[in-house]
Chain A
Amino acid sequence: MREFYYLAQQLWQRVPFRHALLLVIFLAGIKEQYPFSDFPMYSHLDAESDVLYVTDQEDNVLPMEKLFGTGASTQKKVFMTELKSICNPKKRDTRDALPEEKQQAGIQLMDKLMPKLKRDKLAAMGATATSLRIYYKVYTLDAGNISSGKSQLVAERAL
């Protein structure tokens, strides 16, 4: 047994970049468990991508980062998490989500977002917003051309 251990140790010592290799295998296996990650950014490269933004009641776009201290990209991920939790129990892809399902996810996102609203920043901007809207828009690549669908209103909340 001791000889086997010694042999295994000798072999292990000869594996190039062994420590990094071991860590790569670990990270690839554990995926997203903070602080560990397999860093999957831009790994799927689907033929569509989506954005989310906030406007006032007259559809004037408002700067999300400034008003909520969180980015549109992050909140789009939150929206997708909510949408997945609605669609996945029905075994459906979020791309096939119905407008009312997107609105349901949008309302849940709005619930999370509103406590973060920095009303002083909104007032300082001189905005006359009486309500906030969240829009969701999808870009698709078709025959080498990017096209965007119509933005869908997924939530509205009075201030």
Chain B
Amino acid sequence: MTFLMTESTSTDTTGHKSTLGANVFHWGAFEMFFMRLGFAALVFIAIKWEIGSLGPADPKKLTGLAHFINLDGLRNLHSIWIWQTITGLGLLLYVAGILPVLGLAPALFFSIGVGTLANSQGAANHSTQLVSMLLLGQFIVFLLPKIRRVPLTASSWFQPSTSLLQRSIYVSLVIFVAGYVVCGYSKLNNSDWQWIQRVPNLALELQKSNWSSYYDTLQPVPESLETVVNLMTKYPNWARVFFGAGLFIELFTFVALIGRRSSFFTGIVIIILHLSISRLMQLDFYYHMAAALIFLVNIPGIRETFAPKKRWF
């Protein structure tokens, strides 16, 4: 368990006493290893390997790189198992903390390439963006390994220091948090800041998502749907309080950056939020929950998170 006690070497050399940054979290080698392991598995699973089932990009609905590169060729890739093997081996390198920039490259290519093509079909889905952004963020950290006053050497790329590994985790946390905060902001902005007032209309979305789920699978719509929809329309103010809490959670996800314990509790709250959404709307955000579990809840680091010497926030 000595790994748990490994301290960060990323001391703020400016002497500035910021409560922000990777040096607040003091992630040890042991817990970071499990974070990389969990994230590698998540990345591999989140890539839509059934590339052949995708249609060509719709010129009316191009997104990201598809504006500049024709990604339709990805659909013709044969022997997917070869690409899966290359990606898997690369992710193993990343997990081992050896040449992570090279190790992450195939996963980054498929995650963003296939994700972009899938989202250029005329409809945007939001299940894999977070994973792709986390992957891109970590890739950039390992590609540009310069740490203040520490000279660059070949080992900066070959076997990144603990400080750099901690930075990659911290960047993941920042990306995760920003994704949720911007989601909350979009709700306010796109509704002309009337999202709370419009919450009763969410009953329609519940109706829609549950029936869409039925049309996908022919599994009966939950009996509770009618009850929930009726409650929402009969007691709109209670609905505003309940769903407003969800908006509040999104907007305040940034508190996860304060320290290990706030990160842990934010992760738990986010997972509960998603489980509630799954139950109510038949919308499963498994990848988001997994990312929260890996980077925020950080089960292997729980002992360190709740060690008596730690401040609560």
Residues on A facing B (Cβ under 8 Å):
13, 16-20, 23-24, 27-28, 32-54, 61-66, 69-78, 81-82, 85, 112, 115-116, 139-141, 144-146
The A/B interface has a contact count, at CB < 8 Å, of: 190
Residue of A nearest to B171 (CB): A19
Give every chain B residue within 8 A of A28 (Cβ-Cβ). 182, 185-186, 189
B161 beta carbon closer than 8 Å to chain A? no
B289 beta carbon closer than 8 Å to chain A? no
Q: Given A49-B208, A72-B216 in contact, is the A44-B233 Cβ separation under 8 Å?
A: no
How extensive is the interface on chain B, given as a class? Answer: 35 or more
B129 beta carbon closer than 8 Å to chain A? yes
| Bound form: Cα–Cα A20–B66 in Å | 27
Interface stretch (choices B2-10, B194-202, B268-276, B295-303): B194-202
Pick the contact of B191 from A44, A71, A145, A146 — CB < 8 Å?
Answer: A44
B183 beta carbon closer than 8 Å to chain A? yes
- Check A61 against B218 for contact (C-beta < 8 Å): yes
Give every chain B residue within 8 A of A37 (Cβ-Cβ). 124, 126, 129, 179
Pick the contact of B174 from A23, A39, A51, A76 — CB < 8 Å?
Answer: A23
Give every chain A residue within 8 A of B120 (Cβ-Cβ). 34
- Check A43 against B187 for contact (C-beta < 8 Å): yes
15 A/B residue pairs, CB under 8 Å, sorted by A: A18-B20, A28-B182, A37-B124, A42-B187, A43-B189, A47-B204, A50-B208, A61-B215, A64-B215, A69-B53, A72-B212, A73-B209, A85-B60, A116-B53, A144-B233
B175 beta carbon closer than 8 Å to chain A? yes
Interface stretch (choices B34-42, B76-84, B90-98, B109-117): B109-117
| Bound form: Cα–Cα A45–B243 in Å | 12
- Check A74 against B125 for contact (C-beta < 8 Å): yes
- Check B183 against A38 for contact (C-beta < 8 Å): yes
Give every chain B residue within 8 A of A74 (Cβ-Cβ). 121, 123, 125
Least CB distance from A152 to B in Å reads 15
Least CB distance from B123 to A in Å reads 3
Q: Given A43-B191, A49-B205, A73-B209 in contact, is the A34-B178 Cβ separation under 8 Å?
A: no
- Check B124 against A32 for contact (C-beta < 8 Å): yes
- Check B64 against A75 for contact (C-beta < 8 Å): no
- Check A115 against B55 for contact (C-beta < 8 Å): yes
| Bound form: Cα–Cα A104–B254 in Å | 45
Give every chain B residue within 8 A of A76 (Cβ-Cβ). 123, 212
- Residue among A34, A36, A41, A140 with max Cβ neighbours from chain B (10 Å): A34
Pick the contact of B257 from A20, A34, A44, A61 — CB < 8 Å?
Answer: A20
Least CB distance from A145 to B in Å reads 7
Residue of A nearest to B131 (CB): A35
